[in-house]
Amino acid sequence: MDILVIDDDPSLRRTLRVGLTALGHTITEACDSAQALEVLGNRRFHMAFLDLRLASEQGLDLLPDLLRTAPGLRVVIITAYATIETAVEAMRRGAFDYLPKPFVPEQLKVLLDRVTQLGHLQSQVAALEEQVQLAVPEAILQSEEPVMRQALELALKVAATDATILLRGESGTGKGVLARAIHARSPRAAGPFVTVHCPSLSAELLESELFGHAKGSFTGAVKDTIGKVTVAEGGTLFLDEIGDLPLALQPKLLRLLQEKRYERVGETQTRLCNVRILTATNHDLETQIAAGKFREDLFYRLNVIEVTLPSLRQRSKDVIPLAEHLLRFFACQCGKPVTGFSDEAKESLARCPWAGNVRELRNAVERGVILASGPFIELTELPVQIGQPPRAGIDLGAAVSMEQIEAEHMRRILSSSNSIDDAAAVLGMSLRTLYRKRKQYGL
């Protein structure tokens, strides 16, 4: 590593130079803040040793300037005046570690090994994140439809802030992809992006998943465990399907949003957090509030910025460009020379109602690429429902339920309307009620 030693004592700088050079590291010395900042402005260092007292200067006062000049620099405070208070203050200001004088070579070696291992882990995480990005084509962020472009422009405009954003839309419209894009375009992009799927666990396990738990707090809690809030420190916490968050947990999430404070399950110690919270739902939260299933105060706190993603049925101009984008991605991933769709397949793709939205389209194209035997995906190589003709209607007076009649009427109105707004106006219901009923009937 390239290491900067900042100390006003020449003998200590010389001792560190000899010891660190013997371990294979490259050392640069600085005797005061001005020299240290000048060197940092011209070179990149992996870590720095900073003396707590620099003649008439305080090392802790220099620490924030070092981190601003060289973000990511791992600074170790060294001092002969070690106290718990100064150690805590050093870590609070961003120090990587705290080493009291006098220290022995073995202590130094252990510390350097930790820094090296952390560097390797961060490199591995960066490589994995790059692989994930390659595995998730962000075609959702491109659109020819004004309603989609408007949603994207709003989301990416507020990405640079710390505002809480509520993403709404049907399942499969790309809320998770957009949440990642917001994080990637935020000041927290270098921090973690952590997802919690709210419907996946019971209330008790979900609380532990979010906030962590103390050993012995419940059956099976054999050790202290950190939660996703802690894992997301400095980054973004994405709560997917927030409408399914158990009522008992909602006050604790509200407190986290308002005060940035929480307690682990089984503990009384209050902890602080530094996370941005994004949420997503396909539920009609206003209906859930009226039914007493969702707290109104939590809704308003989550709904600082609301972004509604339209269904793929509202994005008819995007279906073929999306399909072709996905085809190129999966052809490259599978190593197959597939270059397009047959005319029959393309017509069926454009005509399909896409109840599962972009997720359903993605799955259909992936299947087509896998099964394709030539340069073009044929209709027979796509899922069978894509080539099926529209379902036959229901006659009034037939032996059918009111739900079947409502579902068929909604299907006909949706298929004949220019937009989802027009359909809602004809049906005499709000957009959110229409979204809920479409999900209920699979439209």
Contact 148, 309 (CB under 8 A): yes
* CB within 8 Å of 113: residues ≥ 6 apart: none
Q: Are 289 and 151 in the same domain?
A: yes
Q: Are 410 and 346 in the same domain?
A: no
Contact 36, 6 (CB under 8 A): yes
Q: Are 178 and 109 in the same domain?
A: no
Domain containing 410 equals 402-441
Q: Is residue 396 in some structural domain? A: no
- Provide the domain count of the chain: 4
> The tokens of 77 are what?
């405070």
Owner of token pair 């805590």: 88
pLDDT at 61: 85
Contact 264, 211 (CB under 8 A): yes
Q: Is residue 129 in some structural domain? A: no
Owner of token pair 């949603």: 151
Q: Are 81 and 99 in the same domain?
A: yes
* DSSP state letters, 385-441: GGGSPPPP---TTSS--HHHHHHHHHHHHHHHSSSHHHHHHHHT--HHHHHHHHHHH
Q: Is 381 helix (H, G, I), strand (E, B) or coil?
A: helix
Q: Is 101 helix (H, G, I), strand (E, B) or coil?
A: coil
Q: Is residue 285 in some structural domain? A: yes
CB atoms within 10 A of CB 358: 23
Q: Are 306 and 375 in the same domain?
A: no
Q: Is residue 229 in some structural domain? A: yes
pLDDT at 384: 80
Q: Are 43 and 169 in the same domain?
A: no
pLDDT at 138: 55
Where helices occur in 70-167 by DSSP H, the ranges are 84-92, 105-135, 146-157
Q: Are 13 and 113 in the same domain?
A: yes
> The tokens of 121 are what?
């882990």
Q: Which letter, b or e, does each residue of 204-233 get, where b requires 16 or more Cβ atoms within 10 Å of its Cβ?
A: eebbbbbbbbbeebeeeeeeebebbbbebe
Q: Are 149 and 80 in the same domain?
A: no
Supply the DSSP symbol for 275: -
The model's pLDDT over 174-217, given as tens digits with 9 standing for 90+, comes to: 899 899 999 989 999 988 999 999 887 778 889 988 998 888 77
CA distances from 351 to 94, 315, 319, 389 (A): 56, 12, 9, 9
> The tokens of 95 are what?
């120090």
CATH no. for residue 369? 1.10.8.60
Q: Are 359 and 303 in the same domain?
A: no
Q: Is residue 130 in some structural domain? A: no
d(CA 134, CA 126) in angstroms, rounded, equals: 12
**Residue at which a domain ends, from 343, 359, 387:** 387
CATH no. for residue 57? 3.40.50.2300
pLDDT at 97: 87
Please give the chain's pLDDT, 443 residues, in tens: 889 999 888 888 888 888 888 888 889 998 888 888 888 887 888 889 998 888 778 888 888 888 888 877 889 988 877 677 877 888 888 888 888 877 888 888 888 888 888 877 766 665 555 555 555 555 567 788 999 999 999 999 999 999 999 999 988 898 998 999 999 899 999 889 999 998 877 788 899 889 988 887 776 777 778 889 988 989 999 999 999 999 999 999 999 999 999 998 888 888 888 999 999 999 899 999 999 999 999 999 999 999 999 999 899 999 999 999 999 989 988 899 999 999 999 999 999 988 888 888 999 999 999 999 999 999 999 988 786 654 555 556 666 677 778 887 887 787 667 678 778 888 888 888 888 888 777 67
Contact 316, 146 (CB under 8 A): no
Three-point CA angle 282, 285, 289, nearest 5°: 155
pLDDT at 345: 95
**Residue at which a domain ends, from 387, 417, 432:** 387
Q: Is 165 helix (H, G, I), strand (E, B) or coil?
A: strand
> The tokens of 105 are what?
């070579």
Q: Are 142 and 261 in the same domain?
A: yes
Contact 171, 357 (CB under 8 A): yes
pLDDT at 62: 87
> The tokens of 148 are what?
């989609």
Q: Is residue 84 in some structural domain? A: yes
Longest Cα pair distance anywhere in the chain, in angstroms? 99
**Residue at which a domain ends, from 290, 310, 330:** 310
Q: Is residue 98 in some structural domain? A: yes
> The tokens of 353 are what?
């109602």
d(CA 104, CA 96) in angstroms, rounded, equals: 19
Strands 74-79 and 97-100: parallel
pLDDT at 275: 94
C-alpha R_g of the chain:
28
d(CA 286, CA 170) in angstroms, rounded, equals: 16
> The tokens of 352 are what?
């399909």
CA distances from 317 to 147, 321, 364 (A): 11, 8, 18
Report pTM. Answer: 0.61
Contact 170, 282 (CB under 8 A): yes
Q: Are 196 and 305 in the same domain?
A: yes
Q: Is residue 411 in some structural domain? A: yes
Q: Are 208 and 322 in the same domain?
A: no
CATH no. for residue 238? 3.40.50.300
